[in-house]
Amino acid sequence: MTRDNFTVSCIHAGLKPSEKNDIMREFRVGKTRVLISTDLLARGIDVQGVSVVINFDLPRDRENYIHRVGRSGRFGRKGVAINLVDGRDMREIQELQRFYDTQIDRLPADIDKIIHA
């Protein structure tokens, strides 16, 4: 992504608190447009401009799912959560749907229209 001129940062539990604070500050002000994170940021982080959350993998703890996807669309804004899954993950997707009484749909071909609506 950096080769394609995206500003990308990564945050995880192995960083010093000062490093985490610097990364979050840069993300909040828009200096970093893409933030890659572990479940470290699943809870308790509110950043107004997040419109898309991409789950590279599903969380082990299903309660973290709602916290992860809830990072998008905060403060009355629209948001999109994308889960990168394959056939092996379908049972977990079905369990999440039952647990949260919701529907997790396949990614539509016109995702750009959804994100920018």
Q: Which residues contact 81 (CB under 8 A, 6 or more apart)?
A: 52, 53, 54, 55, 68, 69, 72
Domains of the chain: which residue ranges? Answer: 2-104
Highest mean pLDDT among 38-47, 59-68, 83-92, 105-114: 83-92
pLDDT score of 114: 65
pTM of the full structure:
0.78
Q: Which fold has domain 2-104?
A: Rossmann fold (3.40.50)
Task: Read off the pLDDT band of 25 (50, 70, 90).
Answer: very high
**pLDDT, tens digit (0-9, with 9 covering 90-100), for 82-105:** 899 999 999 999 999 999 999 998
Q: In the predicted model, is pLDDT for residue 115 greater than 70?
A: no
